[in-house]
Amino acid sequence: MFRKLLYTDDARTTILIRLMVGAVFLSEGIQKFLFSATRGAGRFEKIGLPSPELLGYFVGSFEAVCGALVLIGLFTRLASLPLLVIMLVAIGTTKLDVLANDGFWEMLHGSRTDWSMLLGSTFLLLKGGGKWSADRALIQV
């Protein structure tokens, strides 16, 4: 089971997706702590989510930790799963309102990063960390 979770192929290009997804989530997670009024609890309160302070720390922690794991390619599949959920919730809580009020094209424009992170996380969940990952090193031992 553990080996199956770590399994990844020899793809060299996966590192590009890992770097993009990992760096964005690590950065966003840290910013939820540094700028909680605008990126963390304050933002969650503004969009009407319950317990915004708790949620800000919770989401920020998952983004930072899972983003760092994705960057080094350690437990890549497992780390991608919470990131995928975070993006689905982000799209559902922020972009559906834009769709309803401002239309399809405005929603697409405003959600381009969300879709990139959603699809990047999905890719990593399916493929794993790739050739240059800690996962790959661990299964070769």
**CA–CA separation, 52 and 14 (whole Å):** 34
**CA–CA separation, 86 and 27 (whole Å):** 15
Of the candidates 87, 79, 62, 73, the residue with the CA atom closest to the CA atom of residue 14:
73
Query: How confident is the model at residue 2, as a pLDDT?
Result: 77
Query: How confident is the model at residue 14, as a pLDDT?
Result: 96
Domain range enclosing 98: 2-140
Query: How confident is the model at residue 114, as a pLDDT?
Result: 96
Cα-Cα-Cα-Cα dihedral sign, residues 37, 43, 48, 51: negative
Q: How many domains does the chain have?
A: 1
Query: How confident is the model at residue 141, as a pLDDT?
Result: 73
Query: How confident is the model at residue 45, as a pLDDT?
Result: 95
Query: How confident is the model at residue 135, as a pLDDT?
Result: 95
Query: How confident is the model at residue 3, as a pLDDT?
Result: 81
Percent of the chain with pLDDT strictly greater than 90: 91
Query: How confident is the model at residue 132, as a pLDDT?
Result: 95
Q: Under the phi-then-psi rule, with left for phi > 0, alpha for psi from -120 to 50, and beta for the rest, what region is 48?
A: left
Is 89 in a helix, a strand, or coil? helix
Q: Which pair of tokens denotes residue 66?
A: 């899972």
Let me know: does 124 contact 76? Beta carbons within 8 Å.
yes
Concatenating the DSSP letter of every residue in 22-86 gives HHHHHHHHHHHHHTTTTTSHHHHHHTT-SSHHHHHHHHHHHHHHHHHHHHHTSSHHHHHHHHHHH
pLDDT lower than 50: segments of the chain: none
Q: Tell me the Cα Rg of the chain.
A: 16
